Amino acid sequence: MRDQLPPGLPPDPFAGDPDDPSAALDAIEPGQPLDPAERLAVEEDLADLAVYEALLAPRGIRGLVVCCEDCHQDHYHDWDMLRANLLQLLVDGTVRPHEPAFDPSPDAYVTWDYCRGYADASMNEALPVDPYGLDG
């Protein structure tokens, strides 16, 4: 029996189908549990992702774009898919195959680096200004 998929992924269109084409994936070796450092990194990515989504989704940003090391093309990931992938990594050390975004609008996706810079700038703007110049 197949395990329960994390929230954020679309329902499995082949659930219960004895001819499920993904059954071939069952023969692939299962993922290895993450070591403590890898686990911490994924947990930090999840926390960062929540901040980035809270800051950028209201501005129309749908998720992140990542240049794939294998095919050297941009891959567009919505916030929910990213969260589901990271949660799956925590559960069993793997990322499930998924369908790429259909006809994405590249302007609606940003890089991790952009998100980090945007979050840092937002935090700096939110910090109180020392009127006496004593904090610098």
pLDDT number for residue 131: 61
DSSP symbol at 70: T
pLDDT exceeds 90 at position 136 = no
pLDDT number for residue 127: 76
pLDDT exceeds 90 at position 103 = no
**What would the mean pLDDT of 71-92 be, rounded to a whole number?**
91
pLDDT exceeds 80 at position 31 = no
Query: What CA–CA distance (Å, rounded) separates 106 from 75?
Result: 10
Q: Are strands 109-110 and 63-67 parallel, antiparallel or unpaired?
A: parallel
Whole-model pTM: value is: 0.71
pLDDT number for residue 2: 47
Query: What CA–CA distance (Å, rounded) separates 65 from 45?
Result: 15
pLDDT exceeds 80 at position 12 = no
